[in-house]
Amino acid sequence: MTAQLIDGKALGAAIERGLKADAEEIGGRRGAPHLVVIIVGDDAASHVYVRNKQRACERIGIKSTRYDLPRSCDPEDLMELIERLNEDEEVDGILVQSPLPPGFDEVMVTEAIDPRKDVDGFHPVNLGRIVTGKLDGLLPCTPSAVIRMLESTGEALSGKRALVVGRSRIVGMPAALLLAQRGVDATVTISHSKSQDLRRLCLESDIIVAAVGRPGMIEADWVAPGAIVIDVGINRISVDGAGKLVGDVEEGAFERASWMTPVPGGVGPMTIAMLMSNTIRAASMRP
């Protein structure tokens, strides 16, 4: 069996086309939706991600403003900027690019953002809403990308055994919560660094969501024939001296899965589409 591709680029582009009309409608009513992105320091990958997010804004008709703070800045400067943006009626969404340099408390920074402007969906209010089954707010981008990609296969998810590998605050844990929601109805297992016999857990699963950050840690023959694989991992490795991006799942799994996301071109572009969707949602929730 060779897996069908879950094409994050194509799905993301289709979502963006729909958002364009929403952005125009909001723009006509009260000015273009406005996303502010803050980046602290000079992490090369973060600069690429931020540029990609700003390009998506341009495609859709979302105004984007970028603040570059030096690595040496005081965490207090960042908190003051967030406070100012929280109060700014012209701003619909605020995103602080992760990772922050040492000395910054990412959770505290997230909590400082007005939950109504938290387009990453990481604020405890927005994460907590998922636990109560309220899915009409700002959902975390990568976990909602995972769900949208699973739904795009057209396969029935109800009652399926889903394994989420990784339990981070921003990917694994909220992805598991979304998979277990009424309406999606998967039976969810969460695994982490203390889990035993990951191979067996994988082989028993109909759906594998890999979010660890270790190249190829899920071996091809751990994937049950016909399983659906969503590979969230983004790992930069060197092949013959050249850089290459790979996921957490060995590429050979394409020969066993029924559906699988590529890396790159899978969850990455869909995550950006979900960020754009949150920005439109945040703008339409405000007067």
List contacts with ligand NDP (CB under 6 A): 142, 165-168, 170-172, 191-195, 198, 211-213, 232-235, 267-268, 271
Cα dihedral across residues 69, 73, 75, 78: positive or negative: negative
Active site residue 196: no
Structure tokens at 127: 């994460």
- Residues 142 and 59: their CA atoms lie apart, in Å, by 20
For ligand NDP, the closer CB: 64 or 144: 144
Shortest CB 144 distance to ligand NDP, Å:
11
Q: Any bridge partners for residue 235, and if so which?
A: 246
Structure tokens at 217: 């840690």
Shortest CB 84 distance to ligand NDP, Å:
27
Shortest CB 7 distance to ligand NDP, Å:
14
Structure tokens at 275: 């960020």
Active site residue 114: no
Shortest CB 260 distance to ligand NDP, Å:
14
Residues 246/201, Cβ–Cβ less than 8 Å:
no
Q: Give exposure, 203-216, as e/b (b: 16+ Cβ within 10 Å).
A: bebbbbbbbbeebb
- Residues 276 and 193: their CA atoms lie apart, in Å, by 32
Residues 3/258, Cβ–Cβ less than 8 Å:
yes
- Residues 244 and 134: their CA atoms lie apart, in Å, by 39
Which residue out of 7, 22, 118, 120 is catalytically annotated? 120
Active site residue 117: no
Which residue out of 7, 22, 92, 97 is catalytically annotated? 97
Which residue out of 7, 22, 53, 206 is catalytically annotated? 53
For ligand NDP, the closer CB: 91 or 162: 162
For ligand NDP, the closer CB: 73 or 245: 245
For ligand NDP, the closer CB: 172 or 262: 172
List active site positions: 53, 97, 120
